Amino acid sequence: MKAPYIFNIQKFSVHDGPGIRTTIFFKGCPIRCLWCHNPESQKYNQEVMLTSEGEEEIVGQHYTIEQIVKKVQSDQIFYDQSGGGVTFSGGEVMTQPIDYIVELASRIKRLGISLMIDTCGVAPVENYQKILPYADGFLYDLKFINSQDHFKYVGKDNSLVKDNLKFISDNGGAIYLRLILLKGINDSMDTMEKTVEWLKENNIKISEIDLLPYHDFGRDKYNRLGRKCTQNFEVPDEQHVLNIKYYLQQEGYNVKIGG
């Protein structure tokens, strides 16, 4: 079975779904968000990145399924106490060798551990179909409701993102919809209204909406990879983010600021 590259296994994570979680970051992503905080997650191959001390470090390792299961199992008591579990993230986990991902997911579920899938929605629908029986929820990015903007800022249109979101909803997957907010670009009330309109028209069932205001962490990573930094956005005003929250709550959604 082909193994993917993993660039980080983060324990005690509290921003990748409910409770305390172990987040596994798979390396490789089919899109290029200009604000990406983890540029080392984008390429599917191993890369050299400098540490903050200037040492060369290889990013991306193979792990056997057994090795990962052992790692995540060691924190099971924390998941149980906090309502947490494991999150597959990236990069884009749903574009990784799917047999490996499904096997790992089934092993984690057999231990009674909750599993969340963090995804940008740009992956084959068959992969979502395969992971659905094992996923307790999807942290699902809807970056731009407008397809041209999606293309402009991430390099691909959003048709697959919308289709896969509908597929997951129609098939009973729990959706934690993540809206990244970039000031003056996708955070207007008009954009929010269009988003809600589309969700309702398509009968998308949402467990929670997570508002993720842009921040510019990770800028130095571009330099450390020898790449030009593409992050050049503004942080939305706090009050405006609260206004968005109230609006979405009035529309009947359970809304959180942050992951």
Could you say which of 49, 59, 116, 120 contacts ligand SF4 (CB under 6 A)? 120
User: Per-residue contact track with ligand SF4, 9 to 38, x per CB under 6 A?
Assistant: --------------------x-xxx--x-x
Please state, in angstroms and rounded to a whole number, the distance separating the CA atoms of residues 141 and 150.
12
94 binds ligand SF4 (CB under 6 A): no
Could you say which of 17, 60, 91, 173 contacts ligand SF4 (CB under 6 A)? 91
Please state, in angstroms and rounded to a whole number, the distance separating the CA atoms of residues 121 and 175.
12
User: Per-residue contact track with ligand SF4, 35 to 64, x per CB under 6 A?
Assistant: -x-x--xx----------------------
Kind of pairing between the strands at 255-257 and 6-13:
unpaired
Q: Please list, in sequence order, all residues whose beta carbon lies within 8 angstroms of the beta carbon of residue 230, skipping any fewer than 6 positions away.
A: 32, 34, 35, 36, 222
Q: How many CB atoms lie within 10 A of CB 117?
A: 27
What would you report as the CA-atom Rg of the chain, rounded to the nearest whole angstrom?
A: 18
Applying CB under 6 A, the span of 89-97, 167-175, 199-207, 220-228 interacting with ligand SF4 comes to: 89-97
Q: In whole angstroms, how close is the CB of 29 to ligand SF4 at the nearest point?
A: 3
Number of H helices, E strands in the chain: 9, 10
Residue closer to ligand SF4 by CB (options 21, 143) is: 143
- Residues of this chain that interact with ligand SF4 (CB under 6 A) are 29, 31-33, 36, 38, 41-42, 90-92, 120
